[in-house]
Structure 1
Amino acid sequence: MANTKSAAKRARQSVRNASRNASVLSTLRTQQKKLLLVATEGNKATIHKASMALSSLLDKAVKQGVIHRNLANRRKSLASSKNS
């Protein structure tokens, strides 16, 4: 239990942020799986579309502070290598 008012607020924020972060990370993992599935099929147009969707989600996650910028850049690089 929090001893101060500010500690109680931080505990509330932590719960809220953890649930948001879990949701965003789950969405990212799902999109990565979709990209891998599409990459095995080999259709360039759908691969490009899935790669762009993943890139957008990664950028949004960085903007929200859920993941680090370098992690997003690394995953976007891997996604673009699937694209070519």
Structure 2
Amino acid sequence: MANHKSALKRVRQTKVRTERNRQRKTTIKTLRKETLGAAAAGDAKAASESLSKFSSAVDKAAKKGLIHKSKAANLKSKAAKAIANVG
């Protein structure tokens, strides 16, 4: 366990950041499932709206360094391709 004052602060900061990152990743996973689910159901309007939210969340995560920018591009590309096959 940390003994120095600064090390204790780092432990607190890590705990907060870990929880924040976990929440953001969960949101991305949920939005991805919604988007792909709407595409699989054939609901183009709901899928496109969901894709917009999903893309925004992925871009923000990549900007913050939560996920790599290439992974963000791959996720968005696969979702867009799934929606393109609907219509």
TM, length-normalised to structure 2: 0.85
Supply the RMSD in Å over aligned alpha carbons.
1.3
Matched position secondary structure for 2:26: helix
Q: Which amino acid aligns with 2:47?
A: I
Residues 23-80 of structure 1, C-alpha deviations (whole Å, 9 max, x = no match): 1111111111111210111122222111111100101112232222111111011111
Q: Give runs of ≥4 in structure 1 deviating > 6 Å.
A: none
- Residues matched between the structures, number: 84
Q: List runs of 5+ in structure 1 lacking aligned partners.
A: none
How do 1:33-48 and structure 2 match up within 5 A?
Answer: 33-48=33-48
Which residue matches 1:8?
Answer: 8
Q: Which amino acid aligns with 1:45?
A: K
In the alignment, structure 1 residue 80 sits paired with structure 2 residue 80: yes
Q: List runs of 5+ in structure 2 lacking aligned partners.
A: none
For the residues of structure 1 that align with 2:70 and 2:7, how far apart are their CA atoms? 31
For the residues of structure 1 that align with 2:15 and 2:42, how far apart are their CA atoms? 41
Which residue matches 1:57?
Answer: 57
Matched position secondary structure for 2:74: helix
Deviates more, 1:42-51 or 1:53-62: 42-51
TM, length-normalised to structure 1: 0.88
Percent sequence identity over matched residues? 37
Please say if residues 38 and 44 of structure 2, whose CA atoms lie closer than 8 Å, have aligned partners that are also in contact. Answer: no
